[in-house]
Structures are given as structure tokens and as C-alpha cells.
Amino acid sequence: MKAILCTGIMCFILVFVVSAQQADQITVKKEGLKKIYLLGEEPVDSKQLSSLLGSNPNSMAAYKVSKTHGIIGLSSMACGTVFIGVGFYYTIKSAQASGNDDLAGTTEYSNKSGNNMLIGAGLYVLSVPFFLLSNSNLKKSINLYNASTSTGSINSLDLYVGFTGEGIGVGLKF
């Protein structure tokens, strides 16, 4: 009876030991176009995500590269927006100039309009690879973080119960 009671208590304690060693992992949940980062079941904002990924040096390096590519892509898109805005301004100026029967002003503004809109579109297209690189490095960073949190857990746990010369023996292999 004592052996069964001791085995039950040992199994009860081992359940808590195994569950305590498994850390929560970061997962990504997509809702439409929005990505939500979850730690276990709780949502994580960008500051918390940065501090979590900063706890692992390999993960932090990939996260910094991701942030750098994201900033370059966002800067390229912002410059493209400015150029397209200037292009629309020149388009409006060209439309106003054509109303005054000034054809020389129309071609001058329309050339500026087309050039600025093409440059803006080119900057938008240029930002796409940087955003793709940013997303892939962020995924790599999250995978490195998740791999580092799962290395401390017990992967296999074997409990042996058998008869010995003096009674029942219990063995635990992990």
C-alpha cells in the first residue's frame, strides 16, 4: 500500500515538474489582414514582443534585422507617397493651366506630373521586397525564440514499475 501511495505522489509531483518546464511559445494568429501575436493565449503588443525576443541573443539579432528592413520599406513607401502627391499637384496645375489657353504651361506641368508619379510608383514597388524581408526575419526571430524556450523541457519521461527481490521498485528515466 505504501508503494502505491508513494508512486501516486511521485507521479503527481512529476506532472507539475513537467508542466512547469514548458514555457509558452509565441504564435501568430491572422484575422483578415491583421496579425496578432500571442504568448500562450494572451495577445502581445509590439513592446512586449520586442522584450520577449530580446531575451534570446540570436532571436534579438534577427528581430533587429527585421526592424531595419521594415523601416527602410516604410521610408521608401513614405517617399513614394510624397512623390505621388507632388505628381497630383502638378496634374492639378496642368489642368488649371490648360483652362487659360496656355499650352506651354500644360506640357511643362504634365511632364513634371508624369515623372513624379513614376518615381513614386517605383518607390512603392521598391518597398515590397523590404517588407517581405522584414516579415521573413520576424518569423525567423520568433522561431528562434520558440526553439530556445522548448530546449529546457523534458522531451521523454519513462516511469518503470517492477518487482524486485525485496518488493516493488520504481524507476524514472528522463
In the numeric block, which cell numbers belong to residue 16?
Answer: 507539475
Q: pTM score > 0.85 for this model?
A: no
Q: Which residues pair with 103 in a beta bridge?
A: none
CA torsion sign for 46, 47, 52, 57 is positive
Q: Answer whether residue 128 is part of any domain.
A: yes
Q: Answer whether residue 36 is part of any domain.
A: no
DSSP 81-95: HHHHHHHHHHHHHHH
Residue 152, domain extent: 46-161
Q: Answer whether residue 170 is part of any domain.
A: no
Q: Total structural domains in the chain?
A: 1
Per-residue pLDDT of the chain (174 residues; tens, 9 = 90+): 666 766 667 656 655 555 544 567 888 888 888 888 888 888 888 888 888 888 888 889 999 999 999 999 999 999 999 999 999 888 887 777 666 555 445 556 667 788 899 999 999 999 999 999 999 999 999 999 888 876 555 555 666 777 777 777 777 666
In the numeric block, which cell numbers belong to residue 64?
Answer: 533587429
